[in-house]
Amino acid sequence: MDSKVIQQFKKGSLEMILLSIIGRGETYGYEIITELNRSAAVLGYAKEGTVYPILYRLEAAELISCRIAPAAANGGSKKYYSLTEKGRQALSELSLFWADYCACVNEYLKAYEEEAK
């Protein structure tokens, strides 16, 4: 169950998932990874190697913003991400598209299943 197609799906939807997680409230890297890992059964274990590059792009596109604050717990600093207004807008557009997209794909799948009966 880890075919190329499935990997592409995961990759494509990760951006939306990240925007949703960050949109719920300011959060930081490790928390995002932990949150993603709650869905590890479906998404597979989250990897910093995949998540961070996407965060860089979201930040460059100004969909998220970040601030760096000193963190006593890890002896360094933590970067806190939050959704920008532009990010909120992008997410609502994505979410509309996603609903249409799912409905569309489902229709094909349903048509196939009915034909196969």
Q: Which is nearer to other proteins, 41 or 73 (CB)?
A: 73
Positive or negative, the CA dihedral 87, 88, 92, 98 is: positive
Spatial neighbors of 94 by CB under 8 A, at least 6 apart, are 15, 16, 19
Does position 73 interact with other proteins (CB under 8 A)? The reply is: yes
Please report how close the Cβ of residue 105 comes to other proteins at its closest, in angstroms: 26
What residues numbered 12-71 form the site for other proteins, per CB under 8 A?
A: 28-30, 45-50, 52-54, 56-57, 60, 68, 71
State the SS3 of 43-99: HCCCCHHHHHHHHHHHHHCCCEEEEEEEECCCCEEEEEEEECHHHHHHHHHHHHHHH
Q: 86-115 mask for other proteins (x: CB under 8 A)?
A: ------------------------------
List residues binding other proteins (CB under 8 A).
28-30, 45-50, 52-54, 56-57, 60, 68, 71, 73-79
